[in-house]
A and B are shown apart, each in its own frame.
Chain A
């Protein structure tokens, strides 16, 4: 069974065997318009997982999107960090999904895309980069050099946005419309990752 936890809970064990831990992070600033996309998706994913965990526990119908084939601890977080700070949040996890607003400039605003972290360039895209310290890729490399346990697999689900500098708690219509699909993408990727990790 998949176990839903809020972030920061202790590593769960069952019969003394550590459960794989997967972290889902919505990245962005919820006060800065479309930059809050990651938070909105993460919140909906969290609700979906909580609902699923409840229904599974009651022996009812399982979600069609997430098939809990085995034990895993899934945690959801919302953060506005990048670089070293983001790497530090990933310490101790086996896999991670990051949801972020990005600007690749190749697709219309509101388009969703999924990338492995390794496939992304190490220059500024969304919150994978903190100009205050370094890129997430470099921070992860540093962490691995220090023999810190970090996820082997990191996926990035992004929505194309036009960077904004005006404070607002609302997403633009095209980005808002992408939220349900992004939730589905996260859940599908999560299911795939659970099977791979296990």
Chain B
């Protein structure tokens, strides 16, 4: 059996390794996505006060500390059985909306965008954000930096720190905002709405305006028929901060909605011998292996999943884009898979980049909505906990998927147990499936591996925006991409390197 190794993966948070095993005919037999898991966090937390968790957990990950901060804060509320005042919830969601704008902007322009704007087969030295701004225009770079700057400013105003927020505590927040700050936040939010619309227009022009890219997006190589998960509000519209978890089947049927605290009724974890990380799946459907279909419990939790799992967006411009998204991408072929001949589900994984931009617009609009809410400057930002702490679950939609924190404490609020299901973990099985499928279709009969070809395999998981581990650990000083090809006896026949 031949073996192709991609190690580590470029532009992927943390470092992972893809191994592709070929059979003697030169076709892909198996593909494995292996990652080093950060270990011992639960044990690290036990014995600490639960109110420390919003500070502690946001250091798990250097990419989305705001998501861990929010999930931990909500879990802290639940542990103390306390309901924060409306203003505290709105301020948290406002911070979170600004975070989404920065995060989705960065992914589109620095990670996903280069594949389309520069092209999947462009030299790797050009397939990055520098290539993007030089091709599309320097002003694009300025807008990206501006969007991030505004997001960071709001996060610091509400979260107290520019990188790792520290103001959420059980029962609410430690500080509110002034009217002067509110005005500034509103002004920045209105700019962010325009920027999100600009980004969607850019996607239209560059991706949807190029038939080759459209074919790539809607082609079978990057499609999977899995279940989808996402948080929705009372109207079943996408919500990042609070709500129930909606699950839809591959044919679009909603099979249920659950309160985050009931997650163990819905989610179970499968173990494979070749990786430390577990594979979450839908308990009611069951684990049937790394396979598509309604009988397989594999689910996905991404921007695309959130749109699939919801009935719409809660803001007007994002709703327009949501409708355009489905009007464009739900194909007649997809409808044939359903009992009723109709569906509202998109399975094309590369469409996740478009879905992310729809969410970007929603986040920006929500930012403005909350900044103009009459209650947002109220001094009522904290409810003092009165009850004995016990156990609680906090859940938010991290940009990379549904994030669940579950804490148990003694009567003093000292942690006795911790369980986390992080965003990307939800997607471990579908990522593995996508890599294998892309590899199977792009490497056949011993086809010579080229840099562009390997990047297209990477594109299969880059759409998920995977974030294993974090930016907060040392990375090995080795090539960002190394390809080892072995013959059927395991001997190395070629080694290819790719630089960022």
- Known A-B contacts A122-B500, A123-B479, A124-B478; the reply to A130 vs B473 at CB < 8 A is no
Complex Cα–Cα for A101 and B10 (A): 20
Cβ of A133 and Cβ of B106 under 8 Å apart?
yes
- B110, A163: Cβ atoms under 8 Å? no
A126 proximity list for chain B (CB < 8 A): 474-475
Q: Which of B104-130 contact A (CB under 8 A)?
A: 106-107, 110-111, 128-130
Report the Cα distance A126→B138, complex, angstroms.
29
B85 at the interface (CB under 8 A from A): no
A163 and B111 in contact, given A130-B62, A142-B141 (Cβ under 8 angstroms): no
Q: Does B11 contact A131, Cβ atoms closer than 8 Å?
A: yes
Cβ contacts under 8 Å, A132 to chain B = 11-13, 62-63, 106-107, 110-111, 467, 471
Provided the pairs A103-B476, A123-B479, A135-B500 are in contact, do residues A141 and B38 lie with their beta carbons within 8 angstroms?
no
Whole-angstrom CA separation of A143 from B128 in the bound complex:
14
The docked-state distance in angstroms from the alpha carbon of A84 to that of B60 is 19
Q: Which residues of B contact A88 (CB under 8 A)?
A: 145, 148-149, 152
Assess the B106–A29 pair: CB atoms within 8 A. Answer: no
How many residues of chain B get a CB closer than 8 Å to chain A's CBs? 55
Known: A29-B59, A142-B130. Is A131-B110 also a contact (CB below 8 A)? no
Which residues of A have CB within 8 Å of B499? Answer: 121-123
B471→A82 contact, CB < 8 A: yes
Does A81 sit at the interface, judged by CB under 8 A? Answer: yes
Docked-complex contact A167 and B40, CB < 8 angstroms = yes
> A28 near B: Cβ within 8 Å?
yes
Interface pair B44/A165, CB less than 8 Å apart: no
Q: Residue B314 at the A interface, CB < 8 A?
A: no
Question: How far apart sit A133 and B41, CA to CA, in the bound complex (Å)?
Answer: 25
**Inter-chain contact B38/A167, CB cutoff 8 Å:** yes
Beta-carbon contact of A29 and B472 below 8 Å: yes
Smallest CB-CB separation from B465: which chain A residue? A132
| Contacting pair A32 B472 (CB below 8 A) | yes
CB contact between A165 and one of B39, B110, B152, B163 (< 8 Å): that residue: B39
- Interface status of A104 (Cβ within 8 A of chain B): yes
A 120-147 to B, binary, CB cutoff 8 A, 1 in contact else 0: 0111111101111111001101110110
A168 within 8 A of B: yes
| CB of B133 within 8 Å of the partner chain | yes
Query: What distance in Å separates the Cβ of B165 from its nearest Cβ neighbour in chain A?
Result: 13
Chain A residue at smallest Cβ distance from B107: A132
Interface of A is mostly: loop
| CB under 8 Å from chain B, chain A span 140-172 | 141-143, 145-146, 148, 161, 163-168
A164 / chain B contacts, CB cutoff of 8 Å: 473-474
B356 CB–A CB distance under 8 Å: no
Most buried by B among A126, A131, A133: A131
Which of A28, A102, A104, A165 has a CB less than 8 Å from the CB of B38? A165
Find out whether the CB atom of B471 lies under 8 angstroms from the CB atom of A127: yes
Chain B neighbourhood of A125, CB < 8 A: 475, 477
How far apart are the CA atoms of A33 and B142 in the complex, in Å?
Answer: 37
CB <8 Å contact, A131 and B13: yes
Task: Tell me which residues across on chain B come within 8 A of A84, comparing CB atoms.
Answer: 106, 110, 129, 145, 148
The reply to whether the CB of A59 lies closer than 8 angstroms to some CB of chain B is no
Contact of A32 with B110 in the complex, beta carbons under 8 Å: no
CA A65 to CA B63, docked complex, whole Å? 36
Interchain nearest-CB distance for A164 vs B (Å): 7
Q: Is the CB of A131 within 8 A of B477?
A: no
CB distance from A169 to the nearest CB of B (A): 8
Cβ of A30 under 8 Å from chain B: yes
Query: Whole-angstrom distance between the alpha carbons of A101 and B40 in the complex?
Result: 20
Residue of B nearest to A133 (CB): B110
Residue on A with the closest CB to B64? Answer: A132
Q: Could you say which of A82, A105, A165, A168 contacts B37, with CB atoms under 8 Å apart?
A: A165
Q: How far is the CB of B72 from chain A (nearest CB, A)?
A: 14
Which residues in chain B, 142-193, are within 8 Å of chain A measured between CB atoms? Answer: 142, 145, 148-149, 152, 162-164
Question: CA of A135 to CA of B475 in the docked complex: distance in angstroms?
Answer: 12
Name A123's contact: one of B14, B128, B163, B477 (CB within 8 Å): B477
Chain B residues with Cβ below 8 Å from A3 are none
**How long is the Cα–Cα vector from A30 to B36 in the complex, in angstroms?**
19
B33 shortest CB reach to chain A, Å: 15
Instruction: Check B477 against A81 for contact (C-beta < 8 Å).
Output: no
A80 neighbours in B (Cβ, 8 Å): 59, 62, 163-164, 470-472
Tell me if A1 counts as interface (CB < 8 A to partner B).
no
B415 interface residue per 8 A CB criterion: no
For A98-109 the 0/1 string (1 means CB < 8 A from B) is 001111110000
> A131 touching B15 by the CB < 8 A rule?
yes
For window 441-499 of B, CB contacts with A under 8 Å fall at 467, 469-480, 499
Cβ–Cβ contact A131 & B148, under 8 A: no
For residue A75, CB closer than 8 A to chain B, the reply is: no
12 chain-A/chain-B pairs, Cβ below 8 angstroms: A80-B62, A85-B163, A100-B474, A121-B477, A123-B499, A124-B478, A132-B12, A132-B62, A139-B129, A145-B134, A145-B138, A148-B145
Pick the 9 closest A-B CB pairs, nearest first. Answer: A29-B472, A124-B475, A167-B44, A133-B110, A80-B472, A132-B13, A163-B474, A80-B62, A101-B474
Task: Known pairs A84-B106, A165-B473; list 9 more (Cβ under 8 Å).
Answer: A30-B59, A80-B62, A81-B471, A103-B476, A125-B475, A126-B475, A133-B129, A165-B36, A166-B39
